[in-house]
Amino acid sequence: MGFTREDRKAVGFGAWVFALFAVFFAFFALWIAGSAMGRSDKANTLAKQSLAPKVSETEFSLDAKAVSAETGGNITVSNVGKIPHNLTIKGTSAKTKDLNPGDTTLLSLKGLKDGTYEMYCAIPGHAGSGMVGTVTIGKGGMAGGMGNNEAAQRASNDADDKAQLQPVLKYVGQLTDGANTKGIGNVPLEPTLLPDGTKEFKLTAKIVDWEIEPGKTIRAWTYNGTVPGPMIQVNSGDKVRVTLTNKLPQSTEIHFHGLEIPNAMDGVPYVTNKGPIKPGQTY
């Protein structure tokens, strides 16, 4: 019994479908293999990062001033600062690319002989600002296990904590002690109490010599001779009067933002009042 024309068509169609599925499964197998290789590569990278000593960079310090690494190993470098940084091993070609904030990479130490090397950020000015440390490669670096490395890390962290504390103490001292510059601004201004209960605050606009840091003075345009000007404190419902005397070399004006005041007192020359406050005038 021979095949009919319809039988041959059915067999041909079935063979075509089988071939199509075979190609599909071949591509699917290749995709699975590629994905597995990708995951394997990623896992290897993560494993290297977890075993490698870690150095985090910020402005302007390395969190680990001294690290230890095995021969031919890596250093995990992270930029936790706000500007680009890199890490370079002095006297060698070992160097990361410039890392943007949030980036992490591995710095390979392959080809470097055992010993202690200086590491630093090679971006101009960063090493001079404190972004330096050392890496010890090989037996000298790994001797004693993690104990020595952890002790060095703790010592480095303590030093960084102390260094970062100094500018904070200096800033707080400016606010509380007032010993850094001669003039301190934002001091509450005491009002004069008028017979009807109105609180009158007197302001004088003038130019003074203002010490912005110890030994450095500039000419500053001020209210009552301070930068920033004095603080005016009132309570809801108070009657307030502000008197401004202009001792500047040019006209000025006074305007209060976000307050409901008489339109004539809004402080817009030639619009809500007659004109600006000229030198020598009081308004």
Q: What is the pLDDT of residue 256?
A: 83
Same fold, 51-157 and 192-265: yes
The 10s digit of each residue's pLDDT in 93-102 is 999 999 999 9
**Which candidate, 127, 110, 17, places its Cα nearest to that of 71?**
110
Quote the CA–CA distance of 67 and 52 in Å, as a whole number: 10
Indicate the domain borders of the chain. Answer: 51-157, 192-265
Say which residue the tokens 């010599």 belong to: 209
Instruction: Name 220's bridge partners.
Output: 208
**Using alpha carbons only, how large is the chain's radius of gyration in Å?**
36
Supply the pTM of this predicted model.
Answer: 0.38
Q: What is the pLDDT of residue 248?
A: 94
Residue 273 CB contacts under 8 Å (≥ 6 apart), including other chains: 264, 265, 266, 267
> 51-157, what's its fold?
Immunoglobulin-like (2.60.40)
- 179 sits in the region (left: phi over 0; alpha: psi -120 to 50; else beta) called alpha
Quote the CA–CA distance of 76 and 134 in Å, as a whole number: 14
Q: What is the DSSP string of 212-235?
A: EETTEEEEEEEETTBSS--B----
Q: What is the pLDDT of residue 139?
A: 65
Does domain 192-265 bear CATH number 1.10.238.10? no
Q: What is the pLDDT of residue 179?
A: 47
Q: What is the pLDDT of residue 185?
A: 79
Given a cut of 50, the residues of the chain with pLDDT beneath it are: 1, 3, 7-11, 17, 36, 39-40, 43, 45-49, 140-148, 179
